[in-house]
């Protein structure tokens, strides 16, 4: 799994961080999401899929 985050689309809602805190974080200055691990382990796949589902800006995509 490869995670792609489009920071230009991010609206800083923090939903991705709540769903997958080992994969996403937010910048302190503006809250924009930051991708911590673009190729997370399989154990985090469900969390990443949840982050994709709850992102209000549709800024997160997965490539299998």
**What is the block-wise mean pLDDT of the chain (64 residues), using blocks of 10 residues?**
98 98 98 98 98 98 96
pLDDT of 36:
98
pLDDT of 52:
98
The parent domain of residue 9 ranges over: 2-63
pLDDT of 21:
98
42: exposed, middle or buried (C-beta count within 10 Å: 0-12, 13-18, 19+)? Answer: exposed
pTM: 0.95
pLDDT of 24:
98
Report the number of distinct structural domains present in the chain: 1
pLDDT of 5:
98
| Cα distance from N-terminal residue to C-terminal residue, the chain | 5
CA 30 to chain centre: 16
Residues 21 and 29 sit within 8 Å (Cβ to Cβ): no
Q: What CATH number does residue 23 fall under? A: 3.30.70.20
Beta-carbon contacts of 4 under 8 Å, excluding residues fewer than 6 positions away, are: 38, 60, 61, 62, 63
Beta bridge partners of residue 63, listed in sequence order? 2
């Amino acid at each position: 799994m490869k995670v792609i985050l489009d920071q230009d689309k991010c609206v800083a809602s923090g939903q991705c961080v709540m769903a997958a805190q080992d994969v996403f974080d937010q910048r302190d200055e503006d809250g924009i999401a930051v991708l911590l691990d673009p190729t997370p382990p399989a154990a985090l796949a469900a969390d990443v899929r949840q982050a994709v589902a709850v992102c209000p800006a549709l800024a997160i995509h997965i490539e299998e």
